[in-house]
Amino acid sequence: MVYLEDTYRHKGLRKKLVETLVKKGIWDENVLKAIEKIPRHYFLDSGFLEFAYEDKPFPIGAGQTISQPYTVAFQTQLLDIRKTEKVLEIGTGSGYQACVLSEMGARVFSIERQKSLYQKAKSFIPTLRYPVKLFFGDGYNGLPAFAPFDKILITAAAPFIPEALKEQLKTGGRIVAPVGKGDIQVMVSLVKKSEDIFETTEHGHFRFVPLLEDKAEDH
Ligand code: SAH
């Protein structure tokens, strides 16, 4: 049993983190509010509590990382989230990003391919009372049973945008994803103009762990 405590010190550190994000160019008030509210230190292993509010990524087990707060804020801002929108996240990881989206009023569906991370998020997130729906599987396939989605967020480096995800997006909807085969990816925002017309814009360079295309891993 992990003992969770959100102290004044943690709250103060979150305020500072939000100030840092504003300085780095994040302006969406709803994104900033969600980051100020959610105790990011709950999502890190206890050894890293000291660092939870630095603007850095951190290991979360199974060779994966919780994205840097700036990256979470940047992707969420690009998604342009409205309340009640249906959002599909690929790469649940710690579940922090999913909770940010849920805090903003989105109806969140999130897929993770590493069983241990899926299970950890599945038992932990309900304790925070976020109604996020979690799935174990390969994000390349999306979630056809729950499509279409208003927004789709990929939080791992995608060599390309999977066709299934484009199909599961509503017309007028948006996909945000770091795209690239090497160490560094370009942040891409894709708006679905019609069944087969997508408008792409690019938003700088980022570094993510890879989106792996294979069967989901059972450990
Ligand atoms: N959004 C997460 C950080 C994600 S790190 C957070 O807030 O903590 C990227 C995650 O994508 C990892 O957990 C990795 O296991 C997962 N992943 C990689 N390939 C995947 C795939 N094909 N389907 C689903 N998840 C995948």
Say yes or no: CB of residue 156 within 6 Å of ligand 1. Answer: yes
> Above 60 in pLDDT, residue 90?
yes
Say yes or no: CB of residue 117 within 6 Å of ligand 1. Answer: yes
**Ligand 1 pocket test target in 66, 92, 161, 214 with most atoms within 8 Å of CB:** 92
Judge whether 67 counts as a catalytic residue.
Answer: yes
Average of per-residue pLDDT across 83-107: 98
Q: 61 has which bridge partners?
A: 64
Say yes or no: CB of residue 90 within 6 Å of ligand 1. Answer: yes
Angle at 88 between CA 63 and CA 76, to 5 degrees: 80
> Above 70 in pLDDT, residue 174?
yes
Residues 139 and 154: beta-carbon distance below 8 Å: yes
Say yes or no: CB of residue 66 within 6 Å of ligand 1. Answer: yes
Task: Give the distance (Å) from ligand 1 centre to CA of residue 8.
Answer: 31
Task: Give the distance (Å) from ligand 1 centre to CA of residue 41.
Answer: 19
Going by pLDDT thresholds of 50, 70 and 90, the confidence category of residue 1 is very low
> Above 50 in pLDDT, residue 103?
yes
Per-residue confidence (pLDDT) for residue 50, from 0 to 100:
72
In whole angstroms, what is the distance from residue 150 CA to residue 207 CA?
25
Residue 127 burial (10 A CB sphere; 0-12, 13-18, 19+)? exposed
Task: Give the distance (Å) from ligand 1 centre to CA of residue 29.
Answer: 26
Per-residue confidence (pLDDT) for residue 4, from 0 to 100:
81
Task: Give the distance (Å) from ligand 1 centre to CA of residue 112.
Answer: 6
Average of per-residue pLDDT across 62-74: 92
> Above 80 in pLDDT, residue 215?
no
Per-residue confidence (pLDDT) for residue 61, from 0 to 100:
83
What the chain holds in terms of domains, given with CATH numbers, is 59-206 (3.40.50.150)
Q: Which atom of ligand 1 is nearest to the CA of 212?
A: 19
Q: What is the pTM of this model?
A: 0.95
Mean pLDDT for all residues in the chain? 94
Residues whose CB is less than 8 angstroms from the CB of residue 169 and which lie 6 or more positions away in sequence, other chains included: 148, 149, 152, 175, 192
Average of per-residue pLDDT across 7-19: 95
Catalytic residue among 67, 94, 102, 110: 67
> pLDDT digits over 53-65, tens only?
999 988 888 888 8
Nearest CA to ligand 1 atom 19: 211
Per-residue confidence (pLDDT) for residue 118, from 0 to 100:
97
| Packed helices 29-37 and 96-103: angle between N→C axes, nearest 10 degrees | 120
3-state secondary structure the chain: CCCCCCCHHHHHHHHHHHHHHHHCCCCCHHHHHHHHHCCHHHHCCHHHHHHCCCCCCEEEECCEEECCHHHHHHHHHHHCCCCCCEEEEECCCCCHHHHHHHHCCCEEEEEECEHHHHHHHHHHHHHHCCCCEEEECCHHHCCHHHCCEEEEEECCEECCCCHHHHHCEEEEEEEEEEECCCCCEEEEEEEEEECCEEEEEEEEEECCCECCCCCCECC
Residues 45 and 93: beta-carbon distance below 8 Å: no
Q: Which of 170, 107, 104 is nearest to 134 (CA)?
A: 107
Average of per-residue pLDDT across 4-29: 95
